[in-house]
Amino acid sequence: MIDLLKIKKHVDEALKILEYFPMETMSSEKFNEQLEKVMIQFEYTTIELRRLCEENQMPVKHEKSNIKIYHAKEIYGSIEITDNGWLHICLNTLLPNCKSHTNSIYISDSITRLIDRFIRYGGALPFYEKAFLAIIERCNLENRKSFDHDNKGFKAIQNALKGRLFADDNQFSLSLGLFTEIDDEIACHIYVMPENETADFFYLRHGDGL
């Protein structure tokens, strides 16, 4: 009951903001600020619901198998090990604008859950002494309004992967690439690979191999 009350509180907070939304007298900056507050409350709601659903799921029996699990999918994204051994995560959303929302708990939580589920069902994560993290946003000019890389919340991705695929996200352990492709798809593709295979990534990307 306590968990449900916590969820209801987040929903009520979001609805309270929406109810008193005098959009016609609100500046564009203030309007975006209020929308961010609504989004944060719904992100908390989503995460609490995810946790509650998992806690109340009926246990599922799985027979042991020698088959290696390479792919796991949820409504918010998917995870797989590619044929060349890289980790590939696809999130069905774009990176948040960190100018107004410093870090997206929704992004971090989605990645963590995908990885945890992948491991739970038999997947094995690679671990790199030196890694290259490539983040490719696929979007068009209509659905992406923040174009500066430094305004995008990519750090949420680094933090969710740190300690699981590479030891730390400092400049000696991790190299980072941020890319955008004009596409009607709204998605964020994340690739993690050994740093010495970076050239292969660029070759495949420019040859439409990804």
> Where does the pLDDT of residue 67 fall: very low under 50, low under 70, confident under 90, or very high at 90 and above?
very low
- Rounded to a whole number of angstroms, the CA Rg of the chain reads 19
Which residues make Cβ contacts (< 8 Å) with residue 136, sequence separation at least 6? 179, 180, 181, 188, 189, 190, 191, 205, 210
Q: For residue 153, what pLDDT band results from cuts at 50, 70 and 90?
A: confident
Mean per-residue pLDDT for 150-179?
Answer: 91
Mean pLDDT value across residues 132-145: 83
List phi, psi (to 5°) of 90: -115, 120
Which of 64-73, 97-106, 168-177 has the highest mean predicted lDDT (pLDDT)? 168-177
Q: What residue type is assigned to position 138 of the chain?
A: R
Q: What is the mean pLDDT of residues 62-91?
A: 74
pTM above 0.85? no
Q: Tell me: the pLDDT tens digits for 99-135? A: 544 457 888 889 998 999 899 888 999 999 999 999 9
Q: What is the pLDDT of residue 68?
A: 44
Contact residues for 108 (Cβ-Cβ < 8 A; gap 6+): 156, 157, 159, 160
Strands (E), the chain: 71-74, 77-81, 87-91, 131-139, 174-182, 187-194
The answer on pLDDT for 166 being more than 70 is yes
- pLDDT, one tens digit per residue, over 40-61 is 788 778 777 766 765 665 544 4
- How far apart (Å, rounded) are the C-alpha atoms in residues 77 and 156? 15
Residue holding tokens 């994560």? 125
Q: Which residue has the tokens 């963590």?
A: 112
